[in-house]
Structure 1
Amino acid sequence: MRTITKDPMLRLLLLAMVLAALLPATGQWRGVAQMAANAGIFALFLANGMRIPRAEIASGIANWRFFLPLALWMFGAMALVGLGLSHGGQAMVPPLVAIGFLYLGVLPTTVQSSTSYSSLAHGNVALSVIAAASMSILGVFISVPIFLALGGSGEGMVGSDALIKIILILILPFAIGQILQRRTATFIARQKARIVWLDRFVIAFAVYVAFSGAVEQGIWERIDAAEWAATLALVAIFLVVGHAGAWLASGALSLARQDRVAFLFAGAQKSAAIGAPLATVLFEPAAAGFIVLPLLLYHFFQLVLAAPLATRLAARSALRPDASGYDAPTTRS
């Protein structure tokens, strides 16, 4: 837990949720907060376009034996797990929270934490970096179409206006950043630390805006104790299936142990960096906070799980440095 409590991103997410609970952006301030969030998201994806080298993207595409199965797992199998939990949870949790499990399932992996924990577990760090960056970029383009194809609708329905916003606020700035990459490389390299904090603050503010809408709609009254318990149980199921499934899938591909570790953390983790900003663009404020609730819980508990899991994998790697590794990971202490 020491690793978790030191995580600045997690602290900011918790702060955003507490602030939204105490001082939500409602009424006339909701529109102002939404505009500020959109501006921050535009800047974030512009910076991402500038800092992710095109060579890394090309390298990811070329390594199809690793990246094609990873994409199928992340956007196919995990999406279907989310769909199953969404349908199965309809009788146990509010409809918008149930939709949130489908939304969680279609999201890409994290960049920073999946790479960090892969390194801690003695995985293939270079492959992990390329995988995280490539899958995140791919997710911007295909997460919403998959969400719609699997029936993401109801109160969380995605309209044409939302799709236009995605193009203008996410895809367009990323494309501009890629075009300007050579001219801005030196500047981006100097501002690396500030860009990391830009990431964190934009994500946290997007969570604040989304959760403010949920607070305004009475999240504490609309979700009772039994529904909170059911939501946590569904998140736990998702965590177990995501991590165990990613490990078994990498074993079925006969990947080397270091590559299996990279596949595990890239395939099992889900990105609040993409999910929270995307939700504020994609859904109405009244719905976004409920829909991102499974993502926020999953994000927290994936970090809780990842730290001891990475430590155990590193210990086993030290004992068997030449093994390709087909022993399933465990979190037992």
Structure 2
Amino acid sequence: MKFKTDTFVLFIIAVIVLAYFFPQWGSNKSAVPLDTIGSVGISLIFFFYGLKLSPDKLVAGLKNWKMHVLIHVSTFLFFPLVVLPFYPLAKIFQEETLWLSVLFLAALPSTVSSSVVMVSIARGNIPAAIFNASISGIIGILITPLWMGLFLQTSTAGFDLGIIYKKLIVEIMLPVLAGILLQRFGGKYAVRYSKYLSMFDKSVILLIIYKSFAESFEEKIFSNMRWTHLLLLSIIVTGLFFFIYFLTGSIAKRLQFSIEDRITAQFCGTKKSLIHGTVFSKILFSHTAAIGIILLPLMLFHAFQIFFVSFIATKLGKR
């Protein structure tokens, strides 16, 4: 079987290389206001997200409540609970930052577009995938900061949950609500030009990734990181994915889900959103230069989940 290379992953690699050789453009001393551009871009991403949300499809998706519960329990509970027991081990080996980066990955909501696309290829329950992928991002705005706050509040200066939620409301929730309210005027255009809006989303994410890694390279955050760390992170995120994937599938089977619902539960319940991850990291970790390390497991996970799930989806689609 031939695998299609995800060009976005290649762009991410290119941006990180650019940040390595030219970190000065993304440093705090740079004349280019990348923080402001990123903040405006984030708000626009979620405004267009609100424009594309379909209330009818969301209401229709409410019926299959068992599957919805499983997907969101998997996304926001199973993932973090698997990571939590390793905290004492991380403290012993003084790898708290790497562990925190994995917890951040585990606490993130599911991705939207790729979940729906993969479920469609695998011939799963598409309306349910649309419902869960759409709702997951909104739930994540509330849940992800809570998980991170359990450790950041006590270990990191400058973390204030109230300020975090204020930023999330202003930069994310209000634009989403504005998009929903204006859907009758601009919703059809958002759907029609969704391809271009997706390109805009990815451009903003690449900008934030560049800024994050430029700051980390400028502060020499990666100077103590060895290739063994990268290998270890790759093994951890791959193992985490497979554990949750088979756990979700096993529970779905015990609950006697149809094959379509089982596919949707496994695909939506194991995805993590790179868009939400980069956006949340900008808000949650704005006080630290180690943001590049925080994003590293997420980018490894993103690349792997696309590779593996596309393989499984294609195989299931032929049944």
Does TM, scored on the shorter chain, surpass 0.5? yes
Please give the per-residue CA displacement for 1:57-96, whole angstroms capped at 9, x wherever unaligned: 3333443221122111211111212323455444557322
Cα distance in 1 for partners of 2:19, 2:92 equals 28
Q: Which residue of 2 aligns with 1:200?
A: 202
Say which is worse superposed, 251-260 or 113-122, in terms of deviation: 113-122
CA RMSD of aligned residues (A): 2.3
The range that moved more, 257-266 or 66-75, is 66-75
- Quote the residue 1:303 is aligned against: 306
Q: Give the corresponding residue for 1:250.
A: 252
Q: Could you give the per-residue CA deviations for residues 135-155 of structure 1, whole angstroms, max 9, x where no partner exists?
A: 12222232212332x434424
Q: Which sits farther off after the overlay, 70-79 or 93-102?
A: 93-102
Structure 1 residues 63 and 146, CA, compared in 2 at 3 Å: closer, same or farther?
Answer: farther
Between the two proteins, the alignment pairs up a number of residues equal to 314
Q: 1:154-213 CA distances to partner (integer Å, 9 max, x unpaired)?
A: 248632433321111111111111111112223323322211111111122222122222
Mean CA deviation greater in 102-111 or 136-145: 136-145
Match of 1:267?
269
Gapped runs of 5+ residues in structure 1? Answer: 319-333
CA distance in 2, matches of 1:28, 1:115: 41
Question: Residues 165-180 of structure 1: matches in 2 within 5 Å?
Answer: 165-180=167-182
Maintained 8 Å contact 1:272/1:296: yes
| 1:69-148 equivalences in 2 (<5 Å) | 69-91=70-92, 94-148=95-149
What secondary structure is seen at the aligned counterpart in 2 of 1:29? coil
Offset at 1:261? 0.5
Question: Which letter does structure 2 place at the counterpart of 1:300?
Answer: A
Q: 1:18 maps to what in 2? A: 17
Q: Closer, same or farther in 2 for the Cα pair 1:57/1:217, shift >3 Å?
A: farther
Q: Partner amino acid for 2:213?
A: F
CA distance in 2, matches of 1:102, 1:194: 32
SS in structure 1 at match of 2:84: helix
Matches within 5 A, 1:221-300: 221-284=223-286, 285-300=288-303
Q: Which 4+ runs in 1 deviate beyond 6 A?
A: none
Structure 2 CA distance, aligned partners of 1:50 and 1:42? 12
Counterpart in 1 of 2:7? 8
The alignment-based identity, stated in percent, is 24
AA of the residue aligned to 1:230: L
DSSP 3-state at the match of 1:231: helix
Deviation at 1:221, TM superposition (A): 1.1
Quick one: distance in 2 between partners of 1:22 and 1:226?
23
Which deviates more, 120-129 or 90-99? 90-99
The residue identity in structure 1 corresponding to 2:226 is: D
Which residue, out of 184, 187, 198, partners 2:186? 184
- The letter for the 2-side match of 1:295 is L
Work out the CA distance in 2 between the residues paired with 1:128 and 1:136: 13
TM-score w.r.t. length of structure 2? 0.90
The 2-side partners of 1:4 and 1:248 are apart by 29
Cα contact 1:82–1:103 (8 A) shared by 2: no
> CA separation in 2, counterparts of 1:113 and 1:294?
18
Deviation at 1:31, TM superposition (A): 7.6
Q: Output the TM-score relative to the length of structure 1.
A: 0.86
Measure the CA separation in 2 of the matches of 1:252 and 1:31.
55
CA distance in 2, matches of 1:54, 1:164: 26
Structure-1 separation of matches of 2:259 and 2:181: 37
What is the distance in 2 between the residues matched to 1:240 and 1:30? 44
**Alignment partners' CA distance in 2, 1:62 and 1:87:** 41
One-letter amino acid matched to 1:313:
L
Cα distance 1:59–1:79, how it changes in 2: closer, same or farther (>3 A)?
A: farther
User: Is the partner of 1:286 in helix, strand or coil?
Assistant: coil
Using the alignment, how far apart are the partners of 2:111 and 2:269 within structure 1? 9
Deviation at 1:40, TM superposition (A): 0.5
Change (3 A) 1:67 1:208: same
Distance 1:132 1:155 in 2: 31
Distance 1:238 1:191, change over 3 A: same
Please list every run of 5 or more consecutive structure 2 residues that lacks an aligned counterpart in the other structure.
Answer: none
